[in-house]
């Protein structure tokens, strides 16, 4: 019981009935009820108690009479051994200095429990003036000690958190001086220790933040809201490097509401920011060229339009499409194609100014956004430079390639006022540029929309042409000069498109190639040509060879050899009567790979002809290594053979060259007696052209094969006399 026990009633001093004040009694009462023990002890080794108050029992568990004169136990014994020396020293030091002492130590109670006590005392001298006793007071302070310990433990724990946290933790003045910083913060900011950081960083707004306004914003939020959350900024590290951090902080306020200091945490988010930036870059840039991609392009056009509106300028969107890129990519492989695209990206970049953009739209399509344009002439001069730059020869691994591109241009404001409209118009103009001969540019005009929708319509109808059985094969005979006999025929496809009549191959083969439809279409014509030739043979006609044109796309397609073999087998045609034509420019693109594929075809037993010879850049040595049977001189050389000495020389050279390599030479586009005479004279082996016959349907071809008497009487005659006849000669249809 710790409570004060009231003394027995003896009245109060102030009342009339009061008993006289008995001080001794009063003191005894107090002494006996005191929580703690009043004592007097001797200054000996075991602190022999001469008097202890009643509180002794509560404090030590011993009755006063057990302790006094060490009747049962000495106080010195009761003190824990490990504390005795310290207690003794403290007391003696104080006594010598003639001072009171305070000392805290532990005692072992009678019940075996250890308690913390505080002893407070003073020395007392005997009659001789010698220090002989101590008088004092001892109280139990175990609870206070335990509370202290808890507090210390908590402080230790918080300290450890602070010291070992991975987040930087700080306290700063609102003005920007550090009051406190943990090791993590020092580490993040590149200082050797928190102290070094505190010493060095004394002006946070200017020394730390890359943009001092960020600090201003931070302080503003702190003043207004008392907290900031996920506050991201760039800061300078001690070594000058810039990093990204995010802060969470709060303002600690005084009782009067004024800000005392800021405290908060800092996390280094540089890596995350870099990662985010990389992701964003990847999402907005083309991985091959590093140029802006489609989505960023739209933003750029949008921005350019916004600016042009304010400044009253023009924006030009130029759609740049490489000519024949597909061919290079398909025949030389993607590695060469990729290098070419990189080269083109560099060349385009070199043509524009800093505020313009070059983007890759996909494939071989680039888009250039020209800003701050004043008139069309300015645009034309840039595009002219661009065409010039692209048409420079490109050398890759020792091979030289000629490049060109077609450019379609649309302008803000007249052609549209949003990115999609401008891109659509530029695309349409680009198709027009391609159609008008490539390596040129074309501005958008409203009529182009019509052309574009027609093209789209054509593409759409082409997709169904095969299943709707709309293709027809025409045949053009090849005549052997020596015998004057038809020795072969070239299968030439036509498309009988409902509502549009007979469409010539030049109008749809490029679309078929672009869309990949050339594969099934090519397969169909192979089968049809083989079937037809076999049918003619079965009908007892003199066997002739049939030539089928192959697109480079088909040639690259893995299934080509199989599909040729299949067409032959299905038709039951001897491979010796099938010839495959490949254009020279294609053959030369990737000579080695094509050679391998040609060998595989050759193994089937078919013939191979190099078509449009003279237009590519064949090297003789290559030609020698190819398993080629025929060279077909391009008709552009034959046309002026009798008037242009250059063409004449070229044709003579090709004939000589072909013969030197043991090849048959065929002239295409033979239209006049003069052509015939020249070619005969120079030993050309075979001839093909309107002079003998235009391409005709199978029935017409058959009639030709049966001989002049059954044929369209004019087809093997001169062109002048050629008229429409039973053979269904193409002239009627095309002219
Ligand atoms: P090509 O292989 O060079 O075919 C010869 C072209 O010259 C044919 O045009 C033919 O009609 C034309 N021609 C023939 N004799 C004369 C002449 O005396 N004077 C003139 N000016 N032209 C003559 P066509 O049939 O319009 O074919 C054009 C091109 O389309 C062909 O050129 C060929 O590259 C391609 N082609 C035709 N059919 C097919 C096919 O089935 N598959 C593939 N991949 N391409 C084909
Ligand atoms: Ca041909
Ligand atoms: Ca040709």
User: Do strands 394-396 and 399-401 pair parallel, antiparallel, or not at all (unpaired)?
Assistant: antiparallel
* % of the chain at pLDDT higher than 70: 92
pLDDT of residue 730: 46
pLDDT band at 226 (very low <50, low <70, confident <90, very high): very high
Q: Which atom of ligand 1 is nearest to the CA of 513?
A: 44
Rounded Cα distance between 658 and 667, Å, is: 12
Ligand with smallest separation from the Cα of 475: 1
pLDDT of residue 621: 67
On the question of a common fold for 165-274 and 468-695, the answer reads no
Closest CA to 82 of 59, 58, 105: 105
Ligand with smallest separation from the Cα of 547: 2
The pLDDT tens digits of the residues spanning 665-684 come to 999 999 999 999 999 999 99
Give distance in angstroms: CA of 581 to centre of ligand 2. Answer: 6
Q: Say yes or no to pLDDT of 583 above 90.
A: no
Give distance in angstroms: CA of 93 to centre of ligand 2. Answer: 122
CA distances from 83 to 105, 118, 630 (A): 6, 12, 117
Whose alpha carbon is nearest atom 34 of ligand 1?
Answer: 549
Domain ranges of the chain: 23-142, 165-274, 289-444, 468-695
Q: Say yes or no to pLDDT of 714 above 50.
A: no
For residues 438 and 549, the model is more confident at 549
Q: Say yes or no to pLDDT of 450 above 70.
A: yes
Give distance in angstroms: CA of 6 to centre of ligand 3. Answer: 132
Q: Which atom of ligand 1 is nearest to the CA of 476?
A: 14
Q: Say yes or no to pLDDT of 590 above 80.
A: no
Whose alpha carbon is nearest atom 14 of ligand 1?
Answer: 689
Give distance in angstroms: CA of 490 to centre of ligand 2. Answer: 7
Ligand with smallest separation from the Cα of 479: 1
Paired with 322 in beta bridges are: 405
What single-letter DSSP state applies at residue 69?
A: G
Rounded Cα distance between 431 and 436, Å, is: 9
Which CATH architecture fits 468-695? Answer: Alpha-Beta Barrel (3.20)
For residues 332 and 710, the model is more confident at 332
* CA geometry: angle 8, 14, 18, nearest 5 deg: 45
pLDDT of residue 728: 46
Q: Which atom of ligand 1 is nearest to the CA of 505?
A: 30
The pLDDT tens digits of the residues spanning 8-50 come to 554 444 445 566 788 888 888 888 888 899 999 999 999 999 9
Give distance in angstroms: CA of 492 to centre of ligand 1. Answer: 6
Exposed e or buried b per residue across 32-42, where buried means at least 16 C-beta atoms within 10 angstroms of its C-beta? ebbebbbbbbe
Query: What's the predicted TM-score (pTM) here?
Result: 0.55
Residues with CB under 5 A from ligand 2 (ion): 549, 581, 611
Give distance in angstroms: CA of 635 to centre of ligand 2. Answer: 10
Rounded Cα distance between 331 and 54, Å, is: 113
Q: Where are the alpha helices (DSSP H) in 97-141?
A: none
* % of the chain at pLDDT higher than 90: 69
Whose alpha carbon is nearest atom 12 of ligand 1?
Answer: 669
What average pLDDT does range 164-191 have in this prediction?
Answer: 94
Whose alpha carbon is nearest atom 15 of ligand 1?
Answer: 689
Q: Which of 549, 583, 688, 733 to mutate to test the pocket of ligand 1 (most atoms within 8 A of CB)?
A: 549
Rounded Cα distance between 574 and 605, Å, is: 8
Q: Which of 465, 472, 473, 492 to mutate to test the pocket of ligand 1 (most atoms within 8 A of CB)?
A: 492
Q: Say yes or no to pLDDT of 619 above 80.
A: no
Average confidence score pLDDT of the chain:
89
Rounded Cα distance between 554 and 563, Å, is: 10
Q: Which atom of ligand 1 is nearest to the CA of 518?
A: 44
Query: 197 exposed, middle or buried (CB, 10 Å; 0-12, 13-18, 19+)?
Result: buried
Rounded Cα distance between 606 and 577, Å, is: 7
Whose alpha carbon is nearest atom 46 of ligand 1?
Answer: 549
Query: 22 exposed, middle or buried (CB, 10 Å; 0-12, 13-18, 19+)?
Result: exposed
Q: Which atom of ligand 1 is nearest to the CA of 690?
A: 18
What average pLDDT does range 162-166 have in this prediction?
Answer: 92
Ligand with smallest separation from the Cα of 528: 1
Which CATH architecture fits 165-274? Answer: 2-Layer Sandwich (3.30)
Give distance in angstroms: CA of 521 to centre of ligand 1. Answer: 16
Check if CATH label 3.30.450.20 holds for domain 23-142.
yes
Pocket of ligand 1 from Cβ distances under 6 Å: 476, 492-493, 504-506, 509, 522, 525, 549-551, 611-612, 635, 668-671, 688-690, 695
The pLDDT tens digits of the residues spanning 453-476 come to 888 888 899 999 999 999 999 999
The pLDDT tens digits of the residues spanning 526-569 come to 999 999 999 999 999 999 999 999 998 888 788 899 999 999 99
Give distance in angstroms: CA of 191 to centre of ligand 3. Answer: 77
Whose alpha carbon is nearest atom 45 of ligand 1?
Answer: 549
The pLDDT tens digits of the residues spanning 333-359 come to 788 889 999 999 999 999 998 889 999
Token reading at 269: 């988010």
Q: Which atom of ligand 1 is nearest to the CA of 688?
A: 15
The pLDDT tens digits of the residues spanning 500-521 come to 899 999 989 988 988 889 999 9
Give distance in angstroms: CA of 688 to centre of ligand 3. Answer: 10
3-state secondary structure at position 75: helix
Largest Cα–Cα distance of the chain, in whole Å? 171
pLDDT band at 616 (very low <50, low <70, confident <90, very high): low
The top-level CATH class assigned to 289-444 is alpha beta
pLDDT band at 363 (very low <50, low <70, confident <90, very high): confident
């Amino acid at each position: 019981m710790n409570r004060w026990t009231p003394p027995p009633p003896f009245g109060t001093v102030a009342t009339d009935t009061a008993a006289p004040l008995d001080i001794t009694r009063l003191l005894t009462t107090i002494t006996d009820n005191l929580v703690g023990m009043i004592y007097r002890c001797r200054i000996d080794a075991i602190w022999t108690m001469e008097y202890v108050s009643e509180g002794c029992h509560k404090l030590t568990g011993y009755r006063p009479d057990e302790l006094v004169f060490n009747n049962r136990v000495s106080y010195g014994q009761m003190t824990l051994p490990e504390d005795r020396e310290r207690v003794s020293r403290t007391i003696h030091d104080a006594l010598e200095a003639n001072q009171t002492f305070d000392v805290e130590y532990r005692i072992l109670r009678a019940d075996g429990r250890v308690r913390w006590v505080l002893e407070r005392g003073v020395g007392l001298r005997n009659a001789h003036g010698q220090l002989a006793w101590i008088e004092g007071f001892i109280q139990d302070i175990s609870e206070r000690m335990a509370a202290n310990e808890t507090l210390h433990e908590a402080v230790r724990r918080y300290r450890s958190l602070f010291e070992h946290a991975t987040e930087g933790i700080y306290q700063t003045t609102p003005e920007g001086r550090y009051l406190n910083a943990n090791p993590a913060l020092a580490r993040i900011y590149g200082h050797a220790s928190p102290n070094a950081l505190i010493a060095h960083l004394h002006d946070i707004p200017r020394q730390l933040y890359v943009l001092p306004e960020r600090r201003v914003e931070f302080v503003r939020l702190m003043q207004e809201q008392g907290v900031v959350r996920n506050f991201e900024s760039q800061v300078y590290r001690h070594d000058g490097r810039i990093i990204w951090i995010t802060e969470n902080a709060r303002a600690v306020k005084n009782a009067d509401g004024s800000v005392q200091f800021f405290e908060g945490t800092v996390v280094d988010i540089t890596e995350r920011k870099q990662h985010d930036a990389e992701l964003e870059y990847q999402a907005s840039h083309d991985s091959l060229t590093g140029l802006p991609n489609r989505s960023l392009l739209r933003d750029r056009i949008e921005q350019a339009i916004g600016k042009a509106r304010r400044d009253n300028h023009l924006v030009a969107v130029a759609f740049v499409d490489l000519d024949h890129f597909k061919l290079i990519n398909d025949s030389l492989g993607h590695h060469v194609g990729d290098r070419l695209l990189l080269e083109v990206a560099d060349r385009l970049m070199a043509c524009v100014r800093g505020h313009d953009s070059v983007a890759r739209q996909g494939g071989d399509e680039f888009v250039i956004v020209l800003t701050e344009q004043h008139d069309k002439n300015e645009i034309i001069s840039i595009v002219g430079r661009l065409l010039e730059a692209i048409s420079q020869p490109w050398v890759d691994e020792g091979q030289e390639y000629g490049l060109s591109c077609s450019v379609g241009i649309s302008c803000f404001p007249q052609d549209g006022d949003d990115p999609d409209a401008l891109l659509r118009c530029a695309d349409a103009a680009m198709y027009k540029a391609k159609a008008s001969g490539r390596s040129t540019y074309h501005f958008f005009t409203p009529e182009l929309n019509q052309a574009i929708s027609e093209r789209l319509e054509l593409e759409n109808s082409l997709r169904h042409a095969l299943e709707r059985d709309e293709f027809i094969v025409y045949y053009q005979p090849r005549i052997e000069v020596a015998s004057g006999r038809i020795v072969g025929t070239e299968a030439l496809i036509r498309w009988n498109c409902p509502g549009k009549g007979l469409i010539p191959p030049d109008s749809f083969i490029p679309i078929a190639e672009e869309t990949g439809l050339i594969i099934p279409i090519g397969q169909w014509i192979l089968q049809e040509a083989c079937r037809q030739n076999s049918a003619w043979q079965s009908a007892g006609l003199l066997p002739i060879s049939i030539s089928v044109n192959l697109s480079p796309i088909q040639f690259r397609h893995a299934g080509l050899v199989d599909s040729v073999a299949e067409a032959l087998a299905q038709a039951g045609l001897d491979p010796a009567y099938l010839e495959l034509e490949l254009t020279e420019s294609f053959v030369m693109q990737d000579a080695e790979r094509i050679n391998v594929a040609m060998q595989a075809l050759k193994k089937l037993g078919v013939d191979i002809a190099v078509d449009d010879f003279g237009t590519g850049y064949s090297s003789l040595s290559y030609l020698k290594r190819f398993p080629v049977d025929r060279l077909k001189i391009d008709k552009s050389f034959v046309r002026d053979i009798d008037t242009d000495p250059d063409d004449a020389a070229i044709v003579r050279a090709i004939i000589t060259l072909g013969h030197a390599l043991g090849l048959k030479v065929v002239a295409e586009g033979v239209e006049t007696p003069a052509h015939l005479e020249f070619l005969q004279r120079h030993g050309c082996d075979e001839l093909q052209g309107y002079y003998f016959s235009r391409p005709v349907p199978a029935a017409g071809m058959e009639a030709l094969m049966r001989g002049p008497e059954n044929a369209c009487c004019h087809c093997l005659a001169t062109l002048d006399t050629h008229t429409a006849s039973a053979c269904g000669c193409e002239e009627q249809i095309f002219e």
